[in-house]
Amino acid sequence: MSKHFVPENLPTHLQHYIGGKRVDSIGGETFEVLDPVTNTTYATAASGQKADIDAAVAAATEAFEHGPWPRMKPRARARILNAIADAVEAQEDRLAEMETFDTGLPITQARGQAQRAAENFRFFADLIVAQQDNALKVPGSQLNYVNRKPIGVAGLITPWNTPFMLESWKLAPSIASGCTVVLKPAEFTPLSASLWADIFEEAGLPEGVFNLVNGFGETAGDSLVKHPDVPLISFTGESSTGQLIFRNCAENLKGMSMELGGKSPAVVFADADLDAAIDSTLFGVFSLNGERCTAGSRILVERSIYDEFTERYAERAKNIVVGDPHDPKTQVGALVHPEHYEKVMSYVEIGKSEGRLLAGGGRPENLPEGQEHGSYVAPTVFADVKPDARIFQEEIFGPVVAITPFDDDDEALSLANNTKYGLAAYVWTNDLKRAHNFAQSINAGMVWLNSHNVRDLRTPFGGVKASGLGHEGGYRSIDFYTDQQAVHITLGDVHTPRFGA
């Protein structure tokens, strides 16, 4: 492999950002941050504890109750959101390098993240200016109108896959709505989150609106979720963590938005455009190193084309370029962390007894052995996987796919719905009637017909069953971060029973 690329001016220590200042943990706690290509420590980060979360929530509360942000007119907030988008786009090259270095994602796939993050801010800038609320009239009798107002301090907890872009998904609507925030980024990948403070300062966001506390879920995340002055939690991550957060939010009856795990089916019918389906289902599970919640990690194929599909799919999977994330030719990079690598490899071993291995099944043969040479997994394809297999049922979150045949539409639907998850689904068919009926019968929050994960920001994003709670995207995000207060005005005579008269 070529000499390992390290971005210029890489910080060696990452601090929290609280009330407009970069600070260490009050108790001095730190943790080590690894680079996935060598699995060695490149930086330390301040490790947030309850005291640090308390300080961040106090700063956010002060900014919400006494600062200008929640009281600014939508256009004034939108100007700052657009300035944030400009500042994000200006960081594109640096961000891509940092994101690739910190996550192990291929550089070509990290490149678009700044554009997508910037678009989130532009989109919500437009939305808040165009926002209108209901007025409901009973002529001559009553007028009711909705007074929408930001709820308060939002706790945002984000994952380590495409971290910067997923942080923007929460930061843009929460800030646009007039809330103030405390962000707890994933401990595996805190590097790109450290860019937000400079971006927000440069754009003129008032002090205290944005606060960041690095640290672990068990300490910083737990304290944020349980804090009595944080009425909202937006969480993206794993389903069992989501259940724990749900329990911990109950004490204070907090609002919750949760986008959790997935085991999304890609259903390929015999009448599909097979070339397009193969391209898309390969990209759908092996892009972003397979570390994506909406990955089409179960491919269900109609039996008449099953042999051709599996053969062609496996051949392509063997040709996928695995290697240094900074090499533009790389299609699958290094997994984020040794801990995650062990999890993915344990599923690869389980799969060898649950399916027919057609490609991959371990480290790529052309790369040196050993964790000091990076957490690499060759794109792994299992065929003939039974629906009760663990690799069919459980989220692996890596470059591993299970392929299963079906005989008719009913069996395809039964297999598609046969997991605890329900985030996304992909359907490949040229039969228009079947496409719509099948899509509407799948238990998934989002369905793509004849494409992979191409998203319009106006649409709801979220899952059903173990894949989530609530939806984000478009006005649904604004609804989550605001209270819709009903104000009733009487226009006529009121007839009230006169108790005790």
Active site residues: 259
Structure-block tokens of residue 443: 């238990």
Structure-block tokens of residue 102: 């910190």
Q: Report how far residue 50's alpha carbon sits from residue 468's, in angstroms, rounded to the nearest whole number.
A: 27
CB-CB contact of 153 with 181 (8 Å)? yes
Q: Report how far residue 261's alpha carbon sits from residue 192's, in angstroms, rounded to the nearest whole number.
A: 23
What is the 3-class SS of 322-355, one letter each residue? ECCCCCCCCCECCCCCHHHHHHHHHHHHHHCCCC
Phi, psi of 372 (to 5 degrees): -70, -10
DSSP 8-state assignment for residue 220: I
Strand order in the sheet with 40-46: 13-14, 40-46, 30-35
DSSP 8-state assignment for residue 409: H
Query: Which of 66, 22, 29 has its CA nearest to residue 51?
Result: 29
Structure-block tokens of residue 404: 């299963």
Q: Report how far residue 269's alpha carbon sits from residue 160's, in angstroms, rounded to the nearest whole number.
A: 34
B/e letters for 201-215, b = 16+ CB within 10 Å, e = fewer, are eebebbbbbbbbbbb
What is the 3-class SS of 56-80, one letter each residue? HHHHHHHHHHHCCHHHCCHHHHHHH
Q: What single-letter amino acid sits at 122?
A: R
CB-CB contact of 60 with 181 (8 Å)? yes
Rg (CA), the chain: 24
DSSP 8-state assignment for residue 219: I
Strand order in the sheet with 400-406: 356-359, 380-383, 400-406, 298-302, 265-268, 424-428, 446-449
